[in-house]
Chain A
């Protein structure tokens, strides 16, 4: 293995390649900040450039830089303007945006960058050591287990079900699940709930819903209440608070460690990917946190920010396991990378390590290099990025609204999508007036389609619902989901009873 790593290092380290990765990181970060252009679309856009280079290692290094840059850029828009453009950064905005509102945008970005970097590092180490072994384990996961995994992912909504809010949170989740059933699913060749509207045939798009649920109501709140934009994000506050205190570092490092490993393992499963990893990471960390810290989740907890970021990045690295060892792309991004690799005359799969060891190792080393360069480049840039929030309100708000609209428009070139965005945004604002949590709606929507597809696939394979009892892993995961939902409710009830006795 050491020989392989050295081979990879010698292929990767050259002036041209380093320039490639720096260029890729910068392009990725800046384009990734536009909601609507996630890592997947940016890589797809960069493929012609990469193929034009000709040398597979250099091309991969460029793509790796773009990839990590885009992930960081996506987190930036989630944290600064509450506009998560990619499903895997939705969980980042849960705590990242509240932190930014408290004037700690710089710190939030730093935590996100460090957590991502550590997630990527742990992921890369695990990838080096366990790739072939994990590939065979990942194949043991069938649709029944995926279904159960999605149910565990749904338990992340517990974080938004505060006291007296359980009914509302569940209601929003169900609404999200219902919205996910609109359109033509992968399993059935018939449109559902489209009301004959052609634009709904392919379902509601994630980006429209995410902008409508998070970014737009927030922008409307900023308009309604002018004091809101000045309350936390004072001009100096965000830059002063760049550093993480020793105490905070102590709190987040165990979180990052745990979530890097957990995220990596989830990322290895083809199809589960970074989104589930980030939600699960958030849910698990919240459940094992102490009572006081639990109350902080969703209100600007550094733990709640570090967990999804570390898990997300580790999962992205993990998704390279099935790609490199089996040739199975586990996520949209890896599918596009697979296409790029094939165009560069490299076919990933079991033979890759034997036939083209230098490619195998240079992929891993270049992914890691991308991760490292990103941290080095972006840490000094963070104060400047955070300054976006210091732009005067009269300019900032039209731009937030414009980027929200662009996010929904770029992908589809469909103006109806924008009208839907405005309509859904008004609905979301009314829901927010009445103190309904909106994150569960989006979680339900994201997980809904995967949940239903895997459920129906399992039902068809087993010709009935008995797969739950027949497959111990499915049963185990479902039991875990029940525990994750019931335990916090039980603990909250106990705490309430105790305080009532105290009174």
Chain B
């Protein structure tokens, strides 16, 4: 089965769970006086789940002939190994690490590290350029956002606050 049909399959499962919640779970939580309303919180989700199941099956069973499939894809997912997959995964990991580090170690340190490590992952080795650029950019954004605009971005690590 091709990837797009696998996705349709996952979407179908999602719709089934979504629909189950809409049809059988949500209405129990509804306050009694709201039951007189012509439209319930579950009305729209019910319509969507039915529509989703129909469309999901339509794509899954391949009723539609994909004419566009003849053109080569921008990235061939069957041969991901030929691309810089490692770099992409490392960068995604770095983003997650940044999200987790932002609060404990503060904006300035985490952002500077993010920019430096990001460039290094992509193959940059000119540290004399990367480090000043990253520090300058971090300081600049922090100054603009916190000092000029007044949006708080905890700048320092937790033990210096």
Contact = CB atoms under 8 A, between A and B. Distances in A.
A350 interface: no
A431 interface: yes
B95 A175 contact: no
Contacts of B15: 178
Nearest to A398: B118
Interface in A298-342: none
A426 B92 contact: yes
B122 A394 contact: yes
A394 B51 CA distance: 44
Nearest to A413: B152
Interface string B23-48: 00010011000100111011111001
B155 interface: no
A206 interface: no
Given A171-B8, A193-B18, A181 B44 contact: yes
A163 B68 contact: yes
A190 interface: yes
B41 A188 contact: yes
A221 interface: yes
Contacts of A188: 34, 41
Interface string A182-205: 000101101011000000000000
Given A31-B149, A168-B59, A434-B7, A178 B92 contact: no
A165 B66 contact: yes
B146 to A, nearest CB: 10
Given A394-B124, A398-B122, A402-B114, A192 B26 contact: yes
Which of B67, B69, B85, B133 has the most C-beta atoms of chain A within 10 angstroms of its own C-beta?
B67
Given A164-B66, A164-B69, A224-B75, A418 B95 contact: yes
Contacts of A178: 14-15, 18, 45, 48-49, 52
Interface string A408-430: 01100101101101100110001
Instruction: Summarize A's interface: helix, strand, loop or mixed.
Output: helix
B55 A167 contact: yes
A31 B144 contact: yes
Contacts of A456: 39, 43-44
A225 B72 CA distance: 14
A463 interface: yes
B77 interface: yes
A464 B39 CA distance: 8
Contact of A225 (B44, B75, B119): B75
Contact of B96 (A164, A422, A452): A422
Given A178-B48, A223-B88, A455-B39, A162 B144 contact: no
The 5 closest A-B pairs by CB, nearest first: A398-B118, A418-B99, A164-B66, A434-B4, A433-B77
Interface of B: 2-4, 6-8, 11, 14-15, 18, 21, 26, 29-30, 34, 37-39, 41-45, 48-49, 51-52, 55-56, 58-59, 63-69, 73-75, 77, 80, 83-85, 87-88, 91-92, 95-96, 98-100, 102-103, 111, 114-115, 118-119, 122-124, 130, 133, 137, 141, 144-145, 149-153
